[in-house]
Structure 1
Amino acid sequence: MPRTMSLILTAGLLLLPEAAFAAEFDGASLGFAWALPFAGILLSIALFPLLAPHVWEHHQGKIAALWGLLVLIPLAVVAGPAAALHALAHTALLEYIPFILLLLALFTVAGGILVRGNLHGAPGMNTILLAIGTVLASVIGTTGASMVMIRPVMRANDDRRHNVHVIVFFIFLVSNIGGSLTPLGDPPLFLGFLRGVDFFWTTTHLFPATLVASVLLLALFFAIDLIVYKKEGRVRPDPTPDNPVRITGGINVLLIAVIIGAILMSATVDLGRMTVFGTEIEFANGLRDLIMIAVTITSLKTTPKANRIENGFSWDPIKEVAKLFAGIFITIISVLAMLRAGADGAFAPLVALVTNPDGSANNAAYFWLSGGLSSFLDNAPTYLVFFELAGGDPQQLMTTGALTLTAISAGAVFMGANSYIGNAPNFMVYAIARAGGVKMPSFFGYLLWSGAILLPTFLLLTLLFFRE
């Protein structure tokens, strides 16, 4: 089946005069058909879990492989096997492997940090817990912070009759907005780091918008929770016995510092380089990736198994991410080449949407378009699309294009909170909360929450930071 579909797509590409695939990846010569596999895998990720969850659960790897083959096989036919191998090696060695190894290390380390004990979910305590999770998200990632904090938050509120709003705001802040201050926080920002964006550039440039959004949402949450808390009273006995709060798995905190140090080392130290399949690899980056593997193994060896059992730790989420992003990174090869062509390529209409009449960047459009797509598609590839659309030069984007890169970064990270499928931790938190007895809103019910609370927040951010 994959072979048949690949041949059909290849034939279609060959019939398009503009689809002659130059060995140097001249995006201006590529027809729009080259973007279809990328659109296909993103739509599969968005729709299959909703429309055919059992098929998706058992065959997601095959589906991702199919979309990847629909790029690689036509590329090998049109440009030659050498060009296809070079493109695959470049993507795998410089982006996919570092990306997955960082996520693996953070996922493993976060799974070893266990918060025991019980707090009482009064409005003040709930707000403090959400604030802690929001800050933690930029240190151990939105997935890590969500997994560490969701169970303590649920235990604190298991005697509340109305606790849905607590989990909804948790998704807004801990699973999304909080991860905007470092490349560790959210996958899009680490992809930017791999493309050359400085580690602390994100911290300094996204801090004002992140602070405003976080403080506003925390204040709104406190007000809502206070009203609900006073209205419902304390009529249910607390099912969780009172125990002092204790954090175990402290070795993992040190391992987080090792991860941060490895990333900073790779960005500042020159240890030489080598070429593999035509792709130049810096030894410092290779050392960074080896450190990620060592951190993962160390965490597994030194953390008590009971910690991971109590955290409900499972390898399934990282396996799913590894499979799907293999397909995403392959299918996006041709899309990025087309975006580099700018107004001369197939995406000229998209270029026009984010460009003012005088040729300058429309930063509000970058914010809303990158965010709008990140609401329902994966925010990491969405970030890459708009990064390339803005020119793809990290030095230019960090300086004269700083506001544009800020808009893209904020849109991709913040608006992943708009739906359950906007960011991976969202659905994980949803599933854990439902399993714990929280009556979470449906997919469309959650959209009503995000539409009523987040969209006005993002409109305010546009007026404050991204208005022309």
Structure 2
Amino acid sequence: MIERYSRRFRLLIPLLVFAALPGPAQAADLDGAALGWAWGVPFAGILLSIALGPLLAPKIWHAHYGKIAAGWGVLALAPIAVVYGWDIALASLIHALLAEYLSFIVLLFALFTVSGGILVTGTIRATPLINTGMLAVGTACASLIGTTGAAMVLIRPLIRANAGRQHNVHVVVFFIILVANIGGALSPLGDPPLFVGFLRGVDFFWPVQHLWQQTLIVAGVLLVVFYLLDRWYARHDAPAKTSEAPIGFRGGINFLLIAGIIATILACAQWHPGIEFDVYGTKVALQNLVRDAMLVVLALLSLWWTADEHRAANGFTWEPIREVAKLFAGIFVAIIPVLAMLHAGKSGLFAPLLEAVTASDGTPREVPYFWFTGLLSAVLDNAPTYLVFFELAGGRPAELMGPLAGTLAAISMGSVYMGALTYVGNAPNFMVYAIATERGIKMPGFFGYALRAGLVLIPLFLLLTFLPIVPNLRLH
């Protein structure tokens, strides 16, 4: 079975050939200060395609979304090649794929594959209390096994439990908000932006030490709101026809593999051999290659050790991770000019953004950092957005964990919490959407979901901004 799946990963081998090629000293040679709004059109195009494609042309979209994403990526790279040369375009592409996309998708792939081998058997009849309890458990687990892992383990049992209900869309919407986003705020394993921070030197336990209070407030309020809403819907639903059966687990070996994923990430973070490979201008550290390789091995072991019938009973398919991989590959490529403009700082198109997050004395303003990081995370994907604002705040982890802890907390909360505002804000959002759609749930489109999520979350974020009980966010 391993051979069947390992063929796909042989495609990565040609990338190693670039290690021997001469290239630019930096992949960041793209001059963001010279770029205007037109350079952002491909990125806006791919976001609009994701938003409108499933609504206006669902059959075409589902059959060709990979080609559409690739097309926007080509439209982003072609002008770079024409204006700056093919070498800069190639360096930018390799940097986006190796320095930003590869570790991101490998971690998601590993968590998706391993958690997909855990079969929750049995069915319970959904009640407002049971639904709220399942959301609470998923939210608590998200920082331990990742938002991807927690979402993949629990979304199918939750859908089965609510299959007999007329109104069940709100259950999946709150699941995306809580389990696929908010719950991942307490560890680097929980959400991709915190993993990016961890790779940049932020202590593994920093998020739980500094964000537990805010996360408890946000998650607690959302669970109460969900319970009240679900209770109202339950009164208008016909009695559920779902039969009850005892809850159990199969594929328990995957819990050990999840522990292996955690151990691998922690071990490689402590290992600094000082060996780097220059892949056409992009520095790739040996420990990162070993970590990503080990994560792939753990995923393949899950495929080997987990009985096929467990995944079949789980309704496991590769389509959700395939969709995420293709769409986010397009996003990470199309965003190259946008990130270059952001990195240009005061010299670039986004200079007003830098001024908005910086006080007159040069110190960071935490509330603007929270809102700008969050709102951009909702449309730019939260992992690269976190990285941009992390660098905008100085990029020095020791300083950001110390005297600027409030700024790092604002960036972390904004990227994690507000990643729930759209389907593209965080990769697991798309996975849950795809699974729910496959199971016949009429999920809202891009704008419909954003409207629902915004109505619930924006007032809560405003409350979070002004509450004196929250120590890390201060208006100044």
Q: Residue 343 of structure 2 contacts residue 388 of structure 2 at CA under 8 Å; is this kept in 1?
A: no
Q: Give me the TM-score of the superposition, normalised by structure 2.
A: 0.83
Distance in 2 (alpha carbons) for counterparts of 1:33 and 1:393: 32
Change (3 A) 1:66 1:194: farther
Which amino acid in the other structure matches residue 112 of structure 1? G
Change (3 A) 1:196 1:51: farther
Counterpart for residue 465 of structure 2: 462
Of 85-94 and 114-123, more deviation after overlay is shown by 85-94
Counterpart for residue 310 of structure 2: 307
Aligned to 1:399, which of 374, 397, 402? 402
Which amino acid in the other structure matches residue 254 of structure 1? L
1:156 aligns with 2:161: yes
After superposition, where does 1:199-210 map in structure 2 within 5 Å?
199-210=204-215
Of 174-183 and 90-99, more deviation after overlay is shown by 90-99
1:181 aligns with 2:186: yes
Counterpart for residue 107 of structure 1: 112
Change (3 A) 1:53 1:160: closer
Q: Residue 46 of structure 1 contacts residue 421 of structure 1 at CA under 8 Å; is this kept in 2?
A: no
Counterpart for residue 456 of structure 2: 453
Once the two structures are TM-superposed, the CA of residue 444 in structure 1 deviates from its matched residue by 5.6
1:319 aligns with 2:326: no
1:212 aligns with 2:222: no
Which amino acid in the other structure matches residue 322 of structure 2? K
Of 326-335 and 102-111, more deviation after overlay is shown by 326-335
Which amino acid in the other structure matches residue 205 of structure 1? H
CA offset digits 1:183-232 (Å, max 9, x no partner): 22222332333344333323323222111111121233334444555x46
Distance in 1 (alpha carbons) for counterparts of 2:386 and 2:305: 36
Aligned to 2:146, which of 134, 141, 148? 141
SS of the aligned residue for 1:280 comes to strand
Once the two structures are TM-superposed, the CA of residue 130 in structure 1 deviates from its matched residue by 1.0
Distance in 1 (alpha carbons) for counterparts of 2:187 and 2:151: 16
Q: Residue 332 of structure 1 contacts residue 381 of structure 1 at CA under 8 Å; is this kept in 2?
A: no
Which amino acid in the other structure matches residue 190 of structure 2? G
Percent sequence identity is 57
Counterpart for residue 42 of structure 2: 37
1:370 aligns with 2:410: no
Once the two structures are TM-superposed, the CA of residue 76 in structure 1 deviates from its matched residue by 3.8
Distance in 2 (alpha carbons) for counterparts of 1:220 and 1:345: 42
SS of the aligned residue for 1:375 comes to helix
Counterpart for residue 10 of structure 1: none
Change (3 A) 1:431 1:82: closer
Change (3 A) 1:84 1:438: closer
Distance in 2 (alpha carbons) for counterparts of 1:204 and 1:150: 28
CA offset digits 1:60-104 (Å, max 9, x no partner): 333333333344444344444444444333333332222221111
Q: Residue 94 of structure 1 contacts residue 194 of structure 1 at CA under 8 Å; is this kept in 2?
A: no
Once the two structures are TM-superposed, the CA of residue 313 in structure 1 deviates from its matched residue by 1.4
SS of the aligned residue for 2:335 comes to helix
Of 242-251 and 47-56, more deviation after overlay is shown by 47-56
Q: Residue 28 of structure 1 contacts residue 345 of structure 1 at CA under 8 Å; is this kept in 2?
A: yes
1:333 aligns with 2:336: yes
Counterpart for residue 68 of structure 2: 63
Change (3 A) 1:56 1:146: same
Once the two structures are TM-superposed, the CA of residue 348 in structure 1 deviates from its matched residue by 0.8
Q: Residue 43 of structure 2 contacts residue 72 of structure 2 at CA under 8 Å; is this kept in 1?
A: yes
Q: Residue 163 of structure 2 contacts residue 242 of structure 2 at CA under 8 Å; is this kept in 1?
A: yes
Change (3 A) 1:446 1:288: closer
Counterpart for residue 17 of structure 2: none
Change (3 A) 1:125 1:52: same
Distance in 2 (alpha carbons) for counterparts of 1:98 and 1:302: 24
Once the two structures are TM-superposed, the CA of residue 295 in structure 1 deviates from its matched residue by 0.6
Q: Residue 115 of structure 2 contacts residue 149 of structure 2 at CA under 8 Å; is this kept in 1?
A: yes
For structure 2, the residue ranges without an aligned partner over 5 or more in a row are 1-25
CA offset digits 1:222-262 (Å, max 9, x no partner): 34444555x469x636332x322111111111111111111
SS of the aligned residue for 2:120 comes to strand
Counterpart for residue 277 of structure 2: 275
Change (3 A) 1:160 1:288: same
Counterpart for residue 246 of structure 1: 248
Counterpart for residue 123 of structure 1: 128
Which amino acid in the other structure matches residue 313 of structure 2? E
Distance in 2 (alpha carbons) for counterparts of 1:423 and 1:379: 6
Of 60-69 and 296-305, more deviation after overlay is shown by 60-69
Q: Residue 91 of structure 2 contacts residue 282 of structure 2 at CA under 8 Å; is this kept in 1?
A: yes
Aligned to 1:297, which of 293, 300, 305? 300
Which amino acid in the other structure matches residue 140 of structure 2? V
Which amino acid in the other structure matches residue 45 of structure 2? G
Of 159-168 and 257-266, more deviation after overlay is shown by 159-168
Aligned to 1:49, which of 18, 33, 54? 54
Q: Residue 110 of structure 1 contacts residue 145 of structure 1 at CA under 8 Å; is this kept in 2?
A: yes
Distance in 1 (alpha carbons) for counterparts of 2:431 and 2:97: 27
For structure 1, the residue ranges without an aligned partner over 5 or more in a row are 1-20
After superposition, where does 1:339-418 map in structure 2 within 5 Å?
339-418=342-421
Counterpart for residue 18 of structure 1: none
Distance in 1 (alpha carbons) for counterparts of 2:91 and 2:454: 44
